[in-house]
Structure 1
Amino acid sequence: MKSYSEMCRCGTFEERLKYLQLHGTVGKDTFGFDRYLNQDFYRSKEWRQFRDRIIVRDGGCDLGCKDHPIADITASGGKVSRARITIHHINPLTKEDILEHREALFDPENVISVSDATHKAIHYGTGGGPKMPDGERTAGDTCPWRK
């Protein structure tokens, strides 16, 4: 089992990313037809409050690295859109974790703040590994149910 404390011993952003990488397969379902379970969980008040505490703990920084803030991005026309901060479960959740409301759901040692790009790199790689040897990505490749 990996942990937040152990990850923090990694000195650089790149070392932390390597520590957390899951090397999953693009398009592979995590919850399959039971995806509604994790979607309901991530919309819950209890999760949103926990999520806010973790973002504060990590200073709103990618992988908790102070030199990688997940900042607001100014879009064309001067409109500011909020950067998406995701709370990644270091040890992936299972259907049973959610159904049985296990400790892993809200364990601060099992989560880290990440940007959308970092979250995808943790799950699917950066394009240099055997799962994505050419590094090519397509719109929605991690969300096959949207195609």
Structure 2
Amino acid sequence: MTNIRTYSELVRLPTFKQRYEYLRLGGSVGEDTFGFDRYLNQIFYKSKEWLRIRDQVIIRDHGCDLGLDGYEINDRILIHHMNPITKADILERTEFLLNQEYLISTMKHTHDAIHYGTYESLTDVFVIERTKNDTCPWRR
């Protein structure tokens, strides 16, 4: 693997856009990843070892998209392998599989953009229309 992405490097990037660009893979939809061996990653993602590390990553990232404060995920949280895993990674239990240094919390929309999209495809997700006292419902 030539360009190893790490959590330690990612958290040094101060903006969401910089973090997205660091992680962006630029693949195309329908690209074959595991093919007929897809069952392997499905088994892995249900394993106790994965579920344990998944919880640890979510706690470390405070439930924020790309681990960035202010980008709280209010939906299902995905854990993204910053370096795409392969069949061999699963079978050989390589360091990329369960090491928090290679994992980051993200929401589905961001995860899909990392693999197949552009930063521009993300911008509409983060526009929050604010109203007076919207964070203090008892003052309405």
Shorter-chain TM-score category?
Answer: 0.7 to 0.9
Identity fraction in percent: 57
Aligned CA distance change for structure 1 residues 65 and 127 (closer, same or farther; 3 Å): closer
Q: Which has the larger radius of gyration?
A: 2
Indicate the residue corresponding to 1:22 in structure 2: 25
Are 2:67 and 1:64 equivalent residues in the alignment? yes
Code of the residue aligned with 1:64 in structure 2: it is G
Q: Structure 1: 5+ residue runs without aligned partners?
A: 72-82, 130-147
User: Which portions of structure 1, spanning 4 or more consecutive aligned residues, are displaced by more than 4 angstroms?
Assistant: none
Are 2:49 and 1:46 equivalent residues in the alignment? yes
Matched ranges for 1:66-105 at <5 A: 66-71=69-74, 83-105=75-97
Is the 2:82–2:104 Cα contact (8 Å) retained in structure 1? yes
Tell me how far 1:111 sits from its aligned partner.
0.4
Tell me how far 1:44 sits from its aligned partner.
0.5
Q: Distance in 2 between matches of 1:85 and 1:127?
A: 19
User: Which residue of 92, 96, 109 corresponds with 2:101?
Assistant: 109
Indicate the residue corresponding to 1:80 in structure 2: none
Q: Distance in 1 between matches of 2:22 and 2:80?
A: 13
Tell me how far 1:126 sits from its aligned partner.
2.5
Q: Distance in 2 between matches of 1:127 and 1:14?
A: 7
User: Which residue of 39, 42, 60 corresponds with 1:36?
Assistant: 39
TM-score, normalisation: structure 1: 0.77
Q: Structure 2: 5+ residue runs without aligned partners?
A: 122-140
Q: How many residues align?
A: 118
What RMSD over aligned residues (CA atoms) do the two structures have, in Å? 1.4
